[in-house]
Amino acid sequence: MTIKNHKPILARLIPVIFLCLYISCQPQSKDAPTTKPESFRFLEHDITQIQQGYKEGLYTVQEVVQAYLDRIEEIDKSGPALNSIIQVNPDALQIAEALDKEMKEGKIRGPLHGIPVALKDNIDTHDKMATTAGSRAMMHSYPLKDSHMAKLLRNAGAIIIAKTNLSEWANFRGELSTSGWSGVGGLTKNPYELSRNPCGSSSGSAVAVSANLSILAIGTETNGSIICPSHSNGIVGIKPTVGLLSRSGIIPISFTQDTPGPMARTVRDAAICLGVLVGLDSTDKKTRASHGKSFKNYTQFLKENGLKGKRIGLFKGPLGKNYKVDTLMYQTVDFLKKQGAEIIEIDEISKAMVGKYSFQIMLYEYKDGLNNYFQSLGPDAPIKTIEELIAFNRSDSIELKYFNQKYLEMASKKDDLTSEVYKEALAKMMKGSREEGIDRVMNEHDLDAIIAPSGGPAWKTDLTNGDSFHLGSSSPAARAGYPNITVPMGFIDGLPVGISFFGRAWSEPVLLEIAYAYETATNHRRAPKFLTSD
């Protein structure tokens, strides 16, 4: 059919066309992203890409640092307001300027020259940033020197761009706590879905890396505090063997279980950072055991065929609690088999009593460790004993608003570390988690590593009822003081889920080999889009 007079028809259609275009451009639901994450110039850049840009003269260290500072302002303080950063380093640009000058002179400090790094705010820095552990009692606490970790990072050329929010006192203060909340920093949000929890206690560190607010971050773990937030925020986290990295200048929970560790978007970046952080420290006697067992370059172990011929144990303890996680895990097992790995199912690693011993050890060591840390701050320390901290919290209007301080109170009543009760618990936990735990299982089945889901999809944050952990697998490695690496395994309803690779003491090389091969073959990492939901 021929239309002879088409102008009136077009006149009537034009408003309709514009209306359709207008509607199509509008957010269709509350699940629309609140900002455009892809607009960031350095989105998902890794260490190699950033440093290659320096070599090619594409940008300076100052320009990179300014871009990340702007990103923090846009994404963390405004927009979706992730709240992962407690404080920004006011000297970051000056440090960047010095690094630019050194680079022009042909001087490269180390593997992290010009790389922005964020530190969990329980790691001391001797600069204009306080070290708070998220506590209002520590808002004006300025350490007398750098932690060993901060010193090594600076020596390697990193810019400590910010201190990150955390679950207050590394999530060992009291009952019904909410991961990612602190009296100083408020609540950190999961960048994949803002109503979801980021997990703790290195929540801010994980969110900062996932949301591209930093290239790297350093977290700390006593049990799950690197693994869980890394898994919940879709990044890589390494919880090293206790003693591989120094804990000097880190606000403690447990001398037996505490360790810092790198958090990154790729296994390679995490491995580069790990090599920077290793080494003996005379002020942390645990590091003596790492002599001859550490490497300055862990990237040498990154092999794309690293799964071939490996005997891997599937720890079934976390399974059977969430069918969606189970499905994803068994799909992964099938994939690992196709890559040449042999999978052996394991029902149990250690007895339940090991967990009870661990809790008692933490209480004893918490009191001792905190009191020693407060003394390290000198005569002007805002808090000088664990009892003073408890008293401060009782008098503060914010600190006990959402949950109590029962663990601090329990710790304050413990004897010192000469207690026979403490010594017995320590001996039994070590034997149960090592000789009768991971070592026994790996020896019996001749395993190279053990795998398990790192956790379930992030739960909705609930400040009234606290955290809603459904499953996890961090405890066997954490209690033994053995290494654990989590890598993105996929998504469930848009939320990231990780797979953990753990094993014997000092087995970081083989774990990295396996984790890298898995990551390279799957590439599950996806940048978050800051979605909202009902």
Residues marked active site are found at 120, 201, 225
SS3 assignment, position 415: coil
The CA distance from 232 to 486, in Å, is 10
Dump the DSSP string for 302-331: --TTTTTT-EEEEE-TTTTS-HHHHHHHHH
CA atoms within 13 A on the CB side of 266: 16
Q: Which residue has the tokens 């390290």?
A: 376
The CA distance from 204 to 199, in Å, is 9
The CA distance from 296 to 421, in Å, is 39
Picking from 333, 110, 80, the residue whose alpha carbon sits closest to that of residue 207 is: 80
Whether 114 and 96 have beta carbons less than 8 Å apart is answered as yes
Question: Dihedrals φ, ψ of 161, to 5°?
Answer: -80, -25
| Helix boundaries (H) for 217-322 | 227-232, 267-277
Asked if the peptide bond before residue 205 counts as cis, ω within 30 degrees of 0, the response is: no
The CA distance from 73 to 88, in Å, is 10
Token representation of residue 377: 């701050």
DSSP 437: I
Question: Sheet holding 484-492: strands in order across?
Answer: 85-88, 159-164, 116-120, 216-221, 259-264, 236-239, 484-492, 495-502, 449-453, 311-315, 342-346
DSSP 435: I
